Amino acid sequence: MTLVHHLALTAADLPASIAFYDGLLAHLGCRRTHADARLAVWQRPDFELIVYAARDGLREHRHRLYQPGFHHLALRAGRRDQVDAVHDWLRVHGMKVLDPPREYPQYAPGYYALFFLDPDELKLEVVHD
């Protein structure tokens, strides 16, 4: 059993986030199981992501990295080539890559990761370890 049941985020532009997470999570074996004007859900047996639409009047309040609160989410890839495939997909779609795929031996032996931003500038990581 995994510790995290689900993660819920809020998006300024839900349709843009749906397109982004559809592409990203497809590389990691997640599929979208629900979407409406209020929220979208992606699932696999050990993980669930929910993205809510921001409330009116709050869409312009943007997240800033290193402010108190959320820092980043690391998603586990089953293989290194999945990390590379996500990197290629991000570049094709013009997403901001913070650190391209490489080994991070300071984290753990064999730790191979990529760091990037989602449409709301939330920091994400895809890692194979």
Give the total number of structural domains in the chain. 1
According to DSSP, the β-strands at 72-76 and 97-103 are unpaired
Q: Is residue 12 part of a domain?
A: yes
Q: Is residue 65 part of a domain?
A: no
Per DSSP, the three-state class of 54 is: coil
Q: Is residue 1 part of a domain?
A: no
d(CA 74, CA 39): 21
The domain in which residue 94 lies consists of: 7-56+70-128
What CATH number corresponds to the domain at position 47?
A: 3.10.180.10
Q: Is residue 2 part of a domain?
A: no
Q: What is the DSSP string of 79-123?
A: SHHHHHHHHHHHHHTTPPEEEEEEE-TTTSTT-EEEEEE-TT--E
Query: What are the pLDDT digits (tens) for 78-100?
Result: 999 999 999 999 999 999 999 99
Q: Is residue 62 part of a domain?
A: no
Q: What is the predicted pLDDT for the residue at 63?
A: 84
Q: Is residue 52 part of a domain?
A: yes
pLDDT band at 1 (very low <50, low <70, confident <90, very high): low
Q: Residues 19, 11: contact at Cβ < 8 Å?
A: no
Query: What are the pLDDT digits (tens) for 23-66?
Result: 999 999 999 999 999 999 999 999 999 999 999 988 888 888 88
Q: Is residue 97 part of a domain?
A: yes
> What is the pTM assigned to this prediction?
0.93
